[in-house]
Structure 1
Amino acid sequence: MDNAVRLVWDRAEQAPDAPALREGERSWTYAELRSGVQGAMEQLHGRGIAPGDRVLVVMPTSAEFVLAYHAILALGATAVTVNPLCTARELTHFVEDAGCSTALGWHEGEAAVRATATDCGMDLWTLHPGAIATSGDGQPAEVAARDAAVLLYTSGTTGAPKGAVLTHENLVSCGVALNEALDLSPDDSMGTALPLFHVFGQAAVMFTAYAAGGCLSLQHPFDAAGLLQMAADQQLTGIAGVPTMWNAMLHAQTDLTAADLAHLRLACSGGAALPLEVAKAFKDRFGAVVLDGYGLSETTGAATFNSLANPRKEMSVGRALPGGRLAILDEDRQPLQPGLAGEVAISGPFVMREYWNRPEATAAVREGEWFLTGDIGRMDEDGDLWIVDRKKDLVIRGGYNVYPREVEEVFYGHPDIREVAVIGVPDNRLGEEIAAVVSPQPGADIDPAELRAWLEERLAAYKVPRVYQLIDELPKGPTGKILKRGLDRESISTAGDRPPRVTSTH
């Protein structure tokens, strides 16, 4: 199997009437899902999409995302999936870097992608529920296993966002490995409210469900009580979400009990380590075992996962997935003994092919067979992995990765900003909140509320700092470099200004 969409085609041949996709009151069998993908293929082909083209996808979690995404891959093109909250400025970077020829938008909130399409002279297809007609024709294009299927943009720790090239092999391998680790079957139904533009929802959930020949149920936007009710009504066997979602469901106002969720045997968590207490409390209330894992965009969201077959260890993200390997390397990139902390390295069929058009960046994260994550971890003798530190400066806000340098570069476009440090500070609800420590230009008078409004015009909402602290001088080292470790995160979290969202006057 080369083209990843063969998972759907093959299942449609084997069990055409088996349930494949559900969203709200709408549902598709595998035969209907294939026909929907074929219909999207026709419409995209009519818009000139050919093998090797890149298509910008700016859509929320929806059935139409699933249909259009599979159609892009079926045509031998590459899907460039990005957050619908991105601004026109951010979308333009993706278009120019990837060389996109067409954009797909959503009928709600399409202003940014429409502006980008107009500025870049691109075709824009705006979708809405029911926009994709069905068809009975069209076969997946022949592709090589290592051909690009998806470009997922990630900033890493420095510079502008760069595209991780995920191949057809990466996507299928991710689905097959997680399918084996979770012991799934065609009888399983997985539900999620995760964003499908992100690697977790797109690869680790959607492709895992379809590798098993099971059904995928979607919710958008996320509603804790609603997702639990969907699980009960549809007799879901699994739910996938980030830790903030499990916390929200754990405390949801609902009368549902473990008896109502008797079919729910799996609760899959990712995006950050899930405290064991939360997992225990969720199982006590609803009966499902919450398991978490570890992966990056560059590893198709796959690297490790906790298994029902092994005891869950406090804050461990589990063992290497089937087909993959892990190592902890020292500063000379040599393997360390169990228990010692070093850089986490990953090998296996889910590791990306490359960073798009960035050979130097690609070489920097390769050491032989290993992909170097930049994360610091340790492994025990059983192979269980703990992440003890993250990539330098990375902030994970409610499951979203926010890279401070990208935000800081926007700050420096403001005429009243002299220096700024963007950091993560503790937050009980989200795990981390984004804070900005700002040093104004001499004589400037900065209003944090106005500054936040200014940023909201230039950054996706989840990247905009909610906490602000104004100081005369940021701490610096001997070379003049700003020392973020010299900032008191606890103090900033409690004493910083949290201006409400306001309408910008700029």
Structure 2
Amino acid sequence: MDRAARSGRDRPDRSATPGTAPTTVARVLDRALGEDPDRVALVTTSGPLSYAALDRLADRAARALHGLGVRTGDRVAASLPNDQDVVVAFHGAMRLGAVWVGVNRALAPPEQRHLLADSGATLMLSDHPLPDAGARVVELAAWQAAVRAADDRPIGIDVDPDAPAGLAYTSGTTGRPKGAVHSQRNLLLPGAVLVASRGYGPELRKGDCFPFTVLNMAVLTTLLVSQAAATSIVMDRIDADGVADWIRRERVTTWNGPPALLHSLARSTTVAPDDLGSLDEVWTGGADCPEPIRAAFTERFGVPVVATYGLSEAPTVVSIDDRDGHHVPGASGRPLPHLSVRATDDAGRTLPVGRTGELRVRAADDRYRPMLGYWGRPEATAAALDGDELRTGDLGHLDEDGYVHVVDRANLLIIRGGANVYPAEVERVLVARPDVAAAAVFGVPDERLGERVAALVEPGEGATIDVEALTAALRGELAAYKVPERITVVEALPRNAMGKIVRAELPALL
């Protein structure tokens, strides 16, 4: 069978207008396959893959998953390191019409099991054992063998581009993660718009060090880069020396990193300015990155730090600084061309320039819609979506030039070194301890990480809390970055007349 004669992929799509995404993920490689199939698509610790090789492996992965019993609409979970295997598995799942569920390897076993149960995943690809997973676990070696043994003919499944394709798990006020559901069409759109609006082409070498199991990273790696017929560098290190080595060795031009890592690089005695000499832009969270860190990094390495604002529900990037590197202090760039952002009052009315309210995101044209909803949570979906407008839960305003300023995180989100920590999730684990009557978790400022996690705990009647034992117990239930680094026992937490905790009074009690 001719490799071009595939369902939904009969020929490269040349009719698309600038900033228009391919119809399905199976078509995202078409531009590069048509121009130069031997061009390097992906570089990981296992080595480079050409577009032709990635295309063949994606077809094999789709058939391997099918052979393991996965069908269109089934949820496929993956907890794999940043390497070829996870990228290939993702593309295979998309060609099969399955729903991708990324499971961060840093999550504790109870957290991983919850994601599997909540999503109803039938299969999990993993490089580590997970007893009582509730789903069939296929270990990495077995997955690699299945891909090698599979036929590389296209699977020939007609995928619905608007059906659920991926779950991006994010926590809410209940403390239990909930999955934002996205279609293939929506996963492809941010990459299409970023490539068009930022003028990316085959010279782009985009490096990313965040876990690929995060759905947003699938959006910002091969789903973005292949639309420029460029090269995606998926790093397996997230320390200063490791990232610098990747950038130097692979001549990375655009890199996406957390503020804590920018801080470490700017102060490193082992990383020289020339090590990052190939970079022409660095992305980081605008509201999460203190201006002194941004200034120190730019002064040392001579590269602009591009502020961004993103949401799992959007998905990913909502606003970004201009390509020329111009930055407004305290802002997170301007909305992407296909999006409109407004600040609203409690009644949903648009606030004037400079007035702070809840930020809402909606379409600026007919290409966009936000997430399909939260998986299995109609009430949470109704609260977050007002028609086709997404209520972000973040507080902020827009200035007269259209820059988005995120001034606070609603729902009390803690940003620790670029990682999201939801207080309610940690509090849920704390109050499950028999000696803890109540708990309040919050962030405290930190120069390097942005925030660290702190907790106040109220003992039960007649109970004595052993802080060291409590911390040890938390480490068995939560990812390490979520475990509070400061735990203080208080006689009683401050409450208002309604019995709710007065969070403004918490830091003083530390």
Tell me the TM-score normalised to structure 1 length: 0.90
Q: Which residue of 1 aligns with 2:245?
A: 229
Say which of 99, 106, 120 aligns to 1:99. Answer: 120
Which amino acid in structure 1 is aligned with residue 390 of structure 2? F
Does residue 136 (structure 1) correspond to residue 152 (structure 2)? The answer is yes
Does residue 437 (structure 1) correspond to residue 451 (structure 2)? The answer is no
Q: Which residue of 2 aligns with 1:69?
A: 90
With over 3 angstroms needed to count, the CA separation of the structure-2 counterparts of 1:433 and 1:140, relative to structure 1, is: farther
With over 3 angstroms needed to count, the CA separation of the structure-2 counterparts of 1:377 and 1:431, relative to structure 1, is: same
Does residue 198 (structure 1) correspond to residue 214 (structure 2)? The answer is yes
Say which of 285, 294, 302 aligns to 2:317. Answer: 302
CA distance in 1, matches of 2:229, 2:132: 37
Q: Which residue of 1 aligns with 2:257?
A: 241
Q: Which residue of 1 aligns with 2:333?
A: 318
CA distance in 1, matches of 2:183, 2:121: 17
Aligned length: 482
Tell me the secondary structure at the aligned position of residue 273 of structure 2: coil
Give the alignment of 1:77-476 within 5 angstroms.
77-106=98-127, 110-111=128-129, 114-117=130-133, 120=134, 122-128=135-141, 132-133=147-148, 136-139=152-155, 141-254=157-270, 256-258=272-274, 261-270=276-285, 272-309=287-324, 311-348=326-363, 349=368, 351-476=370-495
Tell me the secondary structure at the aligned position of residue 213 of structure 2: coil
Render the CA deviation track for 1:69-115: whole Å, top value 9, x for unaligned: 11111110000112112233222322222111111101xxx13xx21
With over 3 angstroms needed to count, the CA separation of the structure-2 counterparts of 1:145 and 1:480, relative to structure 1, is: same
Q: Which residue of 1 aligns with 2:5?
A: none
With over 3 angstroms needed to count, the CA separation of the structure-2 counterparts of 1:58 and 1:24, relative to structure 1, is: closer
Say which of 80, 89, 93 aligns to 1:59. Answer: 80
Render the CA deviation track for 1:454-489: whole Å, top value 9, x for unaligned: 111122222211111011111111122222222125
CA contact (8 A) 2:288 2:450 kept: no
CA distance in 2, matches of 1:166, 1:327: 22
CA distance in 1, matches of 2:94, 2:244: 32
CA contact (8 A) 2:453 2:486 kept: yes
CA distance in 1, matches of 2:411, 2:167: 23
Q: Which residue of 1 aligns with 2:4?
A: none
Render the CA deviation track for 1:392-433: whole Å, top value 9, x for unaligned: 321111111111112111112211111111111122221111
CA contact (8 A) 2:71 2:97 kept: yes
CA contact (8 A) 2:44 2:235 kept: yes
Which amino acid in structure 2 is aligned with residue 417 of structure 1? V
Render the CA deviation track for 1:248-275: whole Å, top value 9, x for unaligned: 22222335334x5443212111374323
CA distance in 2, matches of 1:410, 1:25: 38
Render the CA deviation track for 1:198-253: whole Å, top value 9, x for unaligned: 24422234422222221111222312122223222222211111111211222223
Render the CA deviation track for 1:164-191: whole Å, top value 9, x for unaligned: 0011111110111222333211221111
| Cα RMSD for the two superposed structures | 2.0
Tell me the secondary structure at the aligned position of residue 67 of structure 1: helix
**How far 1:442 moved relative to its partner?**
2.8
CA contact (8 A) 1:346 1:371 kept: yes
**How far 1:56 moved relative to its partner?**
1.3
CA distance in 1, matches of 2:455, 2:480: 15
CA contact (8 A) 2:172 2:411 kept: no
Which amino acid in structure 1 is aligned with residue 434 of structure 2? P
**How far 1:340 moved relative to its partner?**
0.9
CA distance in 1, matches of 2:266, 2:139: 37
Tell me the secondary structure at the aligned position of residue 221 of structure 1: coil
**How far 1:31 moved relative to its partner?**
0.7
**How far 1:130 moved relative to its partner?**
5.8
Tell me the secondary structure at the aligned position of residue 401 of structure 1: strand
CA contact (8 A) 2:188 2:223 kept: yes
Does residue 37 (structure 1) correspond to residue 29 (structure 2)? The answer is no
Alignment gaps of 5+ in structure 1: 493-506
Indicate the larger mover: 247-256 or 157-166: 247-256
Which amino acid in structure 2 is aligned with residue 314 of structure 1? P
CA distance in 2, matches of 1:58, 1:225: 25
Q: Which residue of 2 aligns with 1:499?
A: none
CA contact (8 A) 1:3 1:143 kept: yes
**How far 1:283 moved relative to its partner?**
2.7
Q: Which residue of 1 aligns with 2:36?
A: 15
Runs of 4+ in 1 over 6 A off after TM superposition: none
Which amino acid in structure 2 is aligned with residue 70 of structure 1? H
CA contact (8 A) 2:182 2:372 kept: yes
CA contact (8 A) 1:200 1:270 kept: no
Which amino acid in structure 2 is aligned with residue 281 of structure 1? A
CA distance in 2, matches of 1:448, 1:166: 41
Which amino acid in structure 2 is aligned with residue 285 of structure 1? R
With over 3 angstroms needed to count, the CA separation of the structure-2 counterparts of 1:271 and 1:383, relative to structure 1, is: closer
CA distance in 2, matches of 1:140, 1:455: 47
CA distance in 1, matches of 2:454, 2:295: 31
Q: Percent identity over the alignment?
A: 34
Tell me the secondary structure at the aligned position of residue 29 of structure 2: helix
Render the CA deviation track for 1:263-304: whole Å, top value 9, x for unaligned: 321211137432333333323322322102101110111210
CA distance in 2, matches of 1:71, 1:96: 22
Tell me the secondary structure at the aligned position of residue 498 of structure 2: coil
CA distance in 2, matches of 1:457, 1:198: 22
Which amino acid in structure 2 is aligned with residue 421 of structure 1? A
CA contact (8 A) 1:59 1:65 kept: yes
CA distance in 1, matches of 2:320, 2:25: 22
With over 3 angstroms needed to count, the CA separation of the structure-2 counterparts of 1:25 and 1:165, relative to structure 1, is: closer
**How far 1:62 moved relative to its partner?**
2.0
CA distance in 1, matches of 2:323, 2:227: 19
CA contact (8 A) 1:326 1:346 kept: yes
CA distance in 1, matches of 2:420, 2:454: 14
Tell me the TM-score normalised to structure 2 length: 0.89
